[in-house]
Chains A and B, each alone.
Chain A
């Protein structure tokens, strides 16, 4: 039976070629959209990894008037102690400008046994930073005062980097170039809900880099309002002379970074939705027309005893075979993405997207062929043959 269907398709190869290329292009578009959607969804499902609810960020400038690193450190210790003393404040930490939910990033590389990971986000933090964001320590320990005198620079890495670089090996205590790993932190989605946690390393603010550290993170109680924020603002602006100060809330920063991640996806989905409607209508029209042209053939089949169901299924299967051809070609192109690792996405994302889009295209073709098939089944042999 299938050989027969192939022959039918081959006889009308010119017209079928156009139909197939349409299905092929729709498959590629759908594959792209699904890849993005699956990637976003996989990221969204993962836990945030830190608390941002009541965390505020204070950005200040001109904190580096004092050329001496040690006295500058002391200068900030006093400021942090003062802020900590306010009743609404639960914890204060200091960090580099790549704060959570900001587009600012600083990256460095890690090399271990020939493996290289280039894009490791590097966060310069202080000892109390962990308590502000409630980071989870999976192995080892967080920084403490004793690390100031360590002769290899102590660092913590996140779980993603640990798995990528070391697999199952124990890592705590390992020395990589001039850095010693003292612990592993659970992954944190610092770039928003829909972006992967990526690789991260945390190192301690010391006297050599404290000059360009210009953010404070403050964890406040739930009832801290604008009045308190005004007081906090005056405190910082009064303490650091001639400083530009800005206070932002992580809750709002999360909203805006998610917004920028979601808007393109929403626009893309709307556009491809319309595209698919367009394609579906087109497919439907062409199939419907084809069936109308084959009334004679169908009438003859009915006359010699084919059931309505078998006529309908013949037409549907014909369309499905066409779809299969385009899907085979489309899949060939689609698998190049994970094979060549074009966009640095995990293979599972591509595979899920591939399966989803294959199902989608089959469903689409099935729906478009179903009604014309039903119509064909309803043809009376006498009427159809009489027309001829």
Chain B
């Protein structure tokens, strides 16, 4: 029986090639866009290289001070983080690192732009960078203020050219020579908290990191001993921040949060405007509008197609087919159509992602297909396909045979 339905379905799809094309185009194209969009979001905020312990980490990346007519928001100072974030009892480990900043170096009359970041030794424990060669700098080296650097694979290629090993060689940045201690796999700039070309010990920082102001250029990651402690750690930091004295008289409130990666990532630096809400509304309304059109289209086309087949339904009914059998047949047809669309959509997304990766819009950002999304997209298509294809068919199967036959 199923085999027969399958044959009928293929025959129907072939008979009205134009309509089939429209349905398939709609389904596959919608899926492609959804997959590309989510692949991007997934990569930008969901990628767990190099912070593999993300589920038990909290990120502190901003401090906001508010007064009557004075709002200011910035990254934090080294001393603030050691003093307050460092005092948490629930945190197992903490790393403090600066935002990346740019500088130039001039090699052989060529200019190279280098982004640098200062970190402590814990940074290399908490974050699991993949070392292509060498090793990170140690606590000892940081304490001694040694001029060592971990560099990214990209800058190795740009600065040294195609050489096998650069560990022990010197790289000049900002007029200072640093000895290379290791090379790590490059990150895309979209992971802006962790991205850099060279990583240096904070003790060699030219800017005084000992200043006592609250604002500076540092951020921190707190690591909880287990997933269950993350909420406790978050609350403890809120409490600590609540007790901090104001830095100056012009301010009346201090806000700083230890947030999960995603919340920290979309932080706008304004307590009143939640970055998360912003991002969700923007993406949500885009996806909604975007899905609404193809759905309407699919429903429209499906209803039209079913009307066309009223005589077929009439004949089947006249020969004794029940409503159940008819509905079953249309379900099979719809599933076949949706699956076909899914397959085409999958192929299209592979091609689209390949081209996007090839174009290298953002260096080191490799997009991949998210299969959950593919599945969800298919389910949504199937749902609307059934709603628009099977429901009218069922209604029609309830019609009197005479009327259905006469419709033609």
Docked CA distance A29–B285 (Å): 11
**Given A61, A227, A234, A282, which contacts B301 in the complex, CB threshold below 8 Å?**
A282
* Known contacts A22-B297, A237-B175, A285-B18; A246/B303 CB under 8 A: no
Q: A243 contacts which chain B residues (CB < 8 A)?
A: 206
A230 interface residue (CB < 8 Å to B)? yes
Are A233 and B206 in contact, with the CB atoms below 8 A?
no
B280 interface residue (CB < 8 Å to A)? no
Are A285 and B301 in contact, with the CB atoms below 8 A?
yes
Are A61 and B33 in contact, with the CB atoms below 8 A?
no
Task: Pick the most buried of A22, A278, A290: most chain B CB atoms within 10 A of its CB.
Answer: A278
Q: A61 contacts which chain B residues (CB < 8 A)?
A: 206-207
Task: List residues of B (166-199) whose CB comes within 8 Å of A's CBs.
Answer: 174-175
Are B206 and A244 in contact, with the CB atoms below 8 A?
yes
Do most interface residues of chain B lie in helix, strand or loop, or is the interface mixed? Answer: helix
Q: B292 contacts which chain A residues (CB < 8 A)?
A: 25
Q: A244 contacts which chain B residues (CB < 8 A)?
A: 101, 103, 174, 206-207
B375 interface residue (CB < 8 Å to A)? no
Q: CB-CB contacts of A226-259 with B at 8 A, as 1s and 0s?
A: 1101100110010000111111100000000000
Are B106 and A246 in contact, with the CB atoms below 8 A?
no
Docked CA distance A29–B296 (Å): 14
* Total contacts A-B at CB 8 Å: 103
Q: CB-CB contacts of B108-139 with A at 8 A, as 1s and 0s?
A: 01110100000000000000000000000000
A281 interface residue (CB < 8 Å to B)? yes
* Known contacts A22-B293, A289-B308; A246/B300 CB under 8 A: no
Docked CA distance A278–B297 (Å): 8
* Known contacts A21-B296, A25-B296; A233/B104 CB under 8 A: yes
Are B296 and A230 in contact, with the CB atoms below 8 A?
no
Task: List residues of B (287-307) whose CB comes within 8 Å of A's CBs.
Answer: 289-290, 292-294, 296-297, 299-301, 303-304, 307
**Given A21, A230, A237, A248, which contacts B109 in the complex, CB threshold below 8 Å?**
A230
Task: List residues of A (305-333) whose CB comes within 8 Å of B's CBs.
Answer: none
Docked CA distance A289–B294 (Å): 19
B391 interface residue (CB < 8 Å to A)? no
Docked CA distance A15–B301 (Å): 11
* Known contacts A226-B111, A271-B33, A274-B33; A285/B19 CB under 8 A: yes
B20 CB, nearest partner CB in chain A, Å: 10
A366 interface residue (CB < 8 Å to B)? no
A72 interface residue (CB < 8 Å to B)? no
A74 interface residue (CB < 8 Å to B)? no
B376 CB, nearest partner CB in chain A, Å: 19
Task: Pick the most buried of B175, B294, B361: most chain A CB atoms within 10 A of its CB.
Answer: B175
Task: List residues of A (31-88) whose CB comes within 8 Å of B's CBs.
Answer: 32, 59, 61-62
Q: A245 contacts which chain B residues (CB < 8 A)?
A: 103-104, 174-175
Q: A29 contacts which chain B residues (CB < 8 A)?
A: 289, 293
Task: Report the stretch among B22-30, B232-240, B251-259 that lies at the interface.
Answer: B22-30
B299 CB, nearest partner CB in chain A, Å: 6
B102 interface residue (CB < 8 Å to A)? yes
Q: B18 contacts which chain A residues (CB < 8 A)?
A: 285
Measured CB to CB, the residues of A under 8 A from B are 15, 18-19, 21-22, 25-26, 28-29, 32, 59, 61-62, 226-227, 229-230, 233-234, 237, 242-248, 263, 271, 274-275, 277-279, 281-282, 285-286, 289-290, 293
Measured CB to CB, the residues of B under 8 A from A are 18-19, 21-22, 25-26, 29, 33, 101-104, 106, 109-111, 113, 174-175, 206-207, 289-290, 292-294, 296-297, 299-301, 303-304, 307-308, 361
Closest 8 CB pairs between A and B?
Answer: A282-B297, A230-B106, A242-B206, A22-B296, A281-B22, A246-B103, A237-B175, A246-B102
26 A-B pairs with C-beta separation under 8 A = A18-B300, A22-B293, A22-B297, A22-B300, A25-B293, A29-B293, A59-B102, A226-B106, A226-B109, A227-B109, A237-B175, A242-B206, A246-B102, A246-B113, A248-B102, A248-B113, A271-B33, A275-B290, A278-B25, A278-B29, A279-B293, A281-B21, A282-B300, A282-B301, A286-B300, A286-B304
